[in-house]
Amino acid sequence: MKQLVVTIIIGLALIGSVLAVSIPENSYKVNVSLVNQKPDPAQPGEIIEVRFKFENAGSNRADSLQVELVPKYPFSLLPGDTALQNVGSLQSHQTAENGLIVKYKLRVDDNAVEGDTPLTLRYRIGSDAWIQPKDFKISVKTLESILYVTSVDTVPNSIAPGGVGKIVIHFKNLADSFLQNVKTTLDLRGVPLAPIGSSNVNIMDKVDASENAQVEFTVMAEAGAASKVYKVPFELSYNDDLGIKYATNNTVGIVIGGVPDLGVTIDTSKIVSSGTSGKVVLKFVNKGPVDIKFMNIKVDDTDQVSVIGSPEAYIGNIDSDDFETQDFTLYVGNVKDDQVIIPIDMSYKDANYNDYHEKKELSLRVYSSSDAQKYGLLNGSPSYGMIITIAIVVIGIAGYYFYRKRKKK
Task: Report the 10 Å Cβ neighbour count for 280.
Answer: 23
Q: Rounded distance, CA 112 to CA 81, Å?
A: 21
Task: Indicate whether 238 pLDDT > 60.
Answer: yes
Q: For the segment 160-191, what is each residue's pLDDT rounded down to a tens digit? A: 999 999 999 999 998 878 899 999 999 999 89
Query: Residue 368 burial (CB < 10 Å; 0-12/13-18/19+)?
Result: middle
User: Which whole number is the average pLDDT over 244-266?
Assistant: 90
* Assigned fold of 262-366: Immunoglobulin-like (2.60.40)
Exposed e or buried b for every residue in 240-271, given b needs 16+ CB within 10 A?
A: beeeeeeeeeeebebbbbbebebebeeeebeb
Pick the CATH number of 30-140 from 1.20.1250.20, 2.60.40.10, 3.30.300.20, 3.40.50.10540: 2.60.40.10
What's the CATH superfamily of 148-256?
A: Immunoglobulins (2.60.40.10)
pLDDT of residue 142: 72
Q: Rounded distance, CA 316 to CA 297, Å?
A: 10
Query: Residue 121 burial (CB < 10 Å; 0-12/13-18/19+)?
Result: buried
Q: For the segment 307-366, what is each residue's pLDDT rounded down to a tens digit? A: 999 999 999 999 988 999 999 999 998 887 788 999 999 999 998 889 999 999 999 988
Question: Per-residue confidence at 20, pLDDT binned at 50, 70, 90?
Answer: very low
Which residues does 353 contact at the CB level (< 8 Å), separation at least 6? Answer: 293
Please determine whether the domains at 30-140 and 262-366 fall in the same fold group of CATH: yes
* Phi, psi angle pair for 198, to nearest 5°: -160, 180
Q: Rounded distance, CA 101 to CA 38, Å?
A: 15
Greater confidence (402 vs 238) lies with: 238
- The answer to whether 254 and 232 are in contact (CB under 8 A) is yes
The per-residue pLDDT of the chain, averaged, comes to 85
pLDDT of residue 40: 85
The letter for the amino acid at 339 is Q
How many CA atoms lie less than 13 Å away from 169 in the CB half-sphere? Answer: 28
Q: Rounded distance, CA 130 to CA 289, Å?
A: 84
H/E stretch holding 384: helix 384-408
| Domain boundaries of the chain, sorted by first residue | 30-140, 148-256, 262-366
Percent of all residues in the chain with a pLDDT value above 70, rounded to a whole number = 85
Q: For the segment 44-55, what is each residue's pLDDT rounded down to a tens digit? A: 889 999 999 999
Task: Indicate whether 384 pLDDT > 70.
Answer: no
